[in-house]
Structure 1
């Protein structure tokens, strides 16, 4: 009886909450599942599960063993996936979702480099600033920007995303430079549709009350807002991955540096680590090392 088989059976029993459900999922008989668990407990000389007529529950030793099993099995699956990638050509269509501006500005070179490394993988890129349902929309990997919420998905951080408050020098000469976030209420503000900008400053005592911005222009695209700010249209709050070139060239001036919102993260999100498709694993591994701790768009600032 293989030790890994018994560990996988134990994990499935815990996750399904019953021997019969685990047996159905593993395509085994309930008797064989019970035999595997008993053999595992005997080999460990400890009871892992409390069995009653109504339910199963983990003992303290069982809970500790379960956590170790999850990591061991995940590591083995990942190792086997990597070995499989070396043994055969990785192919198939990989569907990737990414934010609109980040995708258009910073994905083209990455995608070219990835396809040079994995020419048999076809890429289907879907750009949207709306949050997609990975499973329902058939997405293999979603590139997301923000503060990753707890979920059943796996999230791997790729790089930090810094947020800057900016305006053109000409605008600031004519309208003045705000010294606190509260003074932004007296300026022309260029708003991004999907952000709650008052919440960006929620951590500062000076702005404990909700700010009421003078939202002269609202748009669902950060590049449009940054380009409008360059022309003197107002003050904009956007990520440096959109505005770094304009900042480096002096077309925009960074203001309120002491009040900048907390950095967000650039993440890759995918459905499940276990039995991860080789094409997904290749992309995740490739992107996770691509931008580095200080992305190139922040190197110029």
Structure 2
């Protein structure tokens, strides 16, 4: 058994979640990929993959082995890349995931330039507000908004996520304009809920302290753009991402409410596995996205 080839096949199976897709990407028969994984498990004397009729997933031993294989293969790629002659840049597959609205408004308009600059990087872009597991979901890099849970991932802060408390002129004409946080008890909101189904609380910074406020509402969505659209239709007061609300504030379609108390900022971070040597594609993207956020007028 060629152990290096076995590592490549195993990581590709783990990343794609499919023997067929892994075999296709490596230009080998599916049966060969299956046999190589069976030989690898027999050699290591551990089960690396859970196999069901619907999907493949890593066992705990498989997840640990995947991290080591990914690190070894990245080091080999980096070592070989040091001897590449000419102006060839980073290459290989790069799968990234990010929140939908942030991706559409901030990242994607610039990502086409990234693709043109690094044409040998095969990009796979996922967008959604569902948290992803980098190993199980075969993702190389994720962008996240908000406080980060403890994890083994490496996090690099990109900047701050600004929000604004807004409502439509029609809503304010019908319900009045609040002047204090206590006035919000007489108003309604459109709830934004996470994957757990729990509505997001609003926050205001008062005298340097973050004050959470829970508002009433009978309408809830889990898509940020629908969330803002619901405010435009006069359904309630919301705290919307500033990069989405700014054009509507400029046009007068939305009005800022309680501007003397700004919502608390949330960090925006890029995360990736803690490999000692990042692959050139991951390192290039992380540096690029950091520069993008640093210079983006939408994130201020």
Give TM-score scaled by structure 2 length.
Answer: 0.65
Per the alignment, residue 262 of structure 2 pairs with 260
Per the alignment, residue 236 of structure 2 pairs with 234
Per the alignment, residue 288 of structure 1 pairs with 290
The reply to whether residue 200 of structure 1 matches residue 203 of structure 2 is: yes
* Runs of 4+ more than 6 Å apart: 202-208
Q: Return closer, same or farther for 1:118/1:211 CA change in 2, 3 Å cut-off.
A: closer
**Structural mapping, 1:112-123, within 5 Å:** 112-123=112-123
Would the aligned equivalents of 1:94 and 1:280 in 2 still touch at CA under 8 Å? yes
Shift of 1:260: 2.5
Per the alignment, residue 251 of structure 1 pairs with 253
Mapped partners of 1:190, 1:116: distance in 2: 40
Shift of 1:97: 0.7
Mapped partners of 1:238, 1:177: distance in 2: 17
Structure 2: 5+ residue stretches without partners:
1-74
Q: Return closer, same or farther for 1:235/1:126 CA change in 2, 3 Å cut-off.
A: same
Would the aligned equivalents of 1:181 and 1:207 in 2 still touch at CA under 8 Å? no
Q: Return closer, same or farther for 1:207/1:159 CA change in 2, 3 Å cut-off.
A: closer
Shift of 1:206: 10
Shift of 1:235: 0.8
Mapped partners of 2:249, 2:205: distance in 1: 25
Shift of 1:264: 1.0
| 1:14-43 deviation digits (Å, cap 9, x = unpaired) | xxxxxxxxxxxxxxxxxxxxxxxxxxxxxx
**Structural mapping, 1:155-170, within 5 Å:** 155-170=155-170
Mapped partners of 1:107, 1:206: distance in 2: 31
State how many pairs are aligned: 218
Does the residue aligned with 2:281 lie in a helix, a strand or coil? helix
Mapped partners of 2:202, 2:152: distance in 1: 26
Mapped partners of 1:183, 1:297: distance in 2: 30
Mapped partners of 2:100, 2:292: distance in 1: 19
Give TM-score scaled by structure 1 length.
Answer: 0.65
Would the aligned equivalents of 2:202 and 2:214 in 1 still touch at CA under 8 Å? no
Higher Cα radius of gyration:
1
Mapped partners of 1:279, 1:121: distance in 2: 7
Would the aligned equivalents of 1:168 and 1:229 in 2 still touch at CA under 8 Å? yes
Mapped partners of 1:207, 1:175: distance in 2: 26
Per the alignment, residue 190 of structure 1 pairs with 190
Mapped partners of 2:209, 2:89: distance in 1: 57
Q: Return closer, same or farther for 1:102/1:171 CA change in 2, 3 Å cut-off.
A: same
Per the alignment, residue 132 of structure 2 pairs with 132
Per the alignment, residue 274 of structure 1 pairs with 276
Q: Return closer, same or farther for 1:173/1:202 CA change in 2, 3 Å cut-off.
A: same
Mapped partners of 2:202, 2:214: distance in 1: 11
Q: Return closer, same or farther for 1:291/1:199 CA change in 2, 3 Å cut-off.
A: closer
Q: Return closer, same or farther for 1:190/1:234 CA change in 2, 3 Å cut-off.
A: same
| 1:58-97 deviation digits (Å, cap 9, x = unpaired) | xxxxxxxxxxxxxxxxxxx9xx78x849864321111001
Would the aligned equivalents of 2:164 and 2:262 in 1 still touch at CA under 8 Å? yes
Would the aligned equivalents of 2:293 and 2:299 in 1 still touch at CA under 8 Å? no
Structure 1: 5+ residue stretches without partners:
1-76
